[in-house]
Structure 1
């Protein structure tokens, strides 16, 4: 199938999941995960109507963004080292993976150079996996309060990457927990903290994520095909 056909199929599945959950499909945005994929494939997806793309490697993204000819919106969705933040400055509209105060401070510093603000999501590690980034659920409120004090960031919601399970139903509790954490944070009414976005769900489980409240689903393989290199 072509990229256009894949996008149509995924959007139909998102709409069906929204119908099952009684949600408006307009509440859910598809992030096409384009890490390791060439600029030409991104332009092809953009020509098919996809506007939002997610990248995970800062330096690769910085170079690729210059090669993409289409007017697209970029999100950064991968684990982010503090010394790589400079490669994202002014190029991304949302960073999904803020999991520690030191990273937030560097993002604040880099966007401060521009006199601009950037939207971020706080990443939560709900599976307790050491191999994955994310703050602990018990530490989320304190992190939110600390990051909210930084003038050049706006907290827009939460992100999680649950443990891999062959059966998407097995990860439903993680998606439900993230939704509950977001609701709890929203009730605290912390200045500068909004819970309008939930970034959760990938190629194999995004329909369950949508049913549990996802507003951003990160889909790569189902759009572009299998990964092109290790770590992609």
Structure 2
């Protein structure tokens, strides 16, 4: 199947999951995860109907950003972001999904201030408490989001998580349900620089379950671009 056909198939599943949860499919943002995909294939995805692309690594994001400036792409930084890399993407991304430390938030605020812009961010949670994944715990998220009120150049627009992998997506439904509860609680806190708009959760293996439980932003790689072989980091 072509990338366009893959996208159409994903969109059908997104629409069905949205309808099952009584929601408008147009309210669900599908991000094509283009990590390790060359710029030409990423371009095919945009021309095939995806205007949002997500990258895990700063170098890849910057490279594709430069090669695809003729297209109206909404870039998302969805991977772990090191403080010393913030400066390279601060003016290029619509949304940083992976904020999980005060130090990173401070750096994003500093770089955004220098560029005279407001950085839109999501707070990353590790609900499954997996040692291999980044993100803060539920116990600390409320104090953390409250501490971000001190930053004038950050706007918190929601939450993100990566659920534990399971062959049966039903096994991680509880993760998405818990995320929705946290999302609603933070929404009620009325913090000055927080506007809960996005719940970024769900990937190829579990996005339908995530949508059923309240996700309005899913990050789809394999179902769009096919399985990828990863080179070991040197």
Same topology, TM > 0.5: yes
CA shift for structure 1 position 63: 1.8
SS of residue paired to 2:188: helix
The 3 A distance-change label for structure 1 pair 155 and 70 is same
1:153 corresponds to which residue?
154
Q: Which residue of 1 aligns with 2:2?
A: 2
**SS where residue 185 of structure 1 aligns?**
helix
SS of corresponding position for 1:164: coil
Q: Contact 2:90–2:119 at 8 Å: present in 1 too?
A: no
- Using the TM superposition, give the Cα deviation of residue 231 of structure 1 relative to its aligned residue in structure 2, in angstroms: 6.6
Q: How many residue pairs were aligned?
A: 232
Q: CA RMSD in A?
A: 1.2
State the alpha-carbon separation in 2 of the partners of residues 70 and 27 from structure 1: 22
> Which portions of structure 1, spanning 4 or more consecutive aligned residues, are displaced by more than 3 angstroms?
none
CA deviation vs aligned residue, 1:154-193 (integer Å, no higher than 9, x gap)? 0000001111111000010000000000111111112111
Specify whether residues 148 and 228 from structure 1 end up closer, same or farther in structure 2 by C-alpha distance, changes over 3 A only.
Answer: farther
Structure 1: tracts of 5 or more residues without a match: none
Shift of 1:153: 0.7
**What SS class does the counterpart of residue 159 from structure 1 fall into?**
strand
Q: CA deviation at 1:14?
A: 0.3
Alignment correspondent of 1:124: 125
Following superposition, the deviation at residue 228 of structure 1 comes to 3.4
Q: Distance in 2 between matches of 1:231 and 1:150?
A: 37
Matching residue of 1:19 = 19
**C-alpha distance in 2 between matches for 1:161 and 1:6:** 22
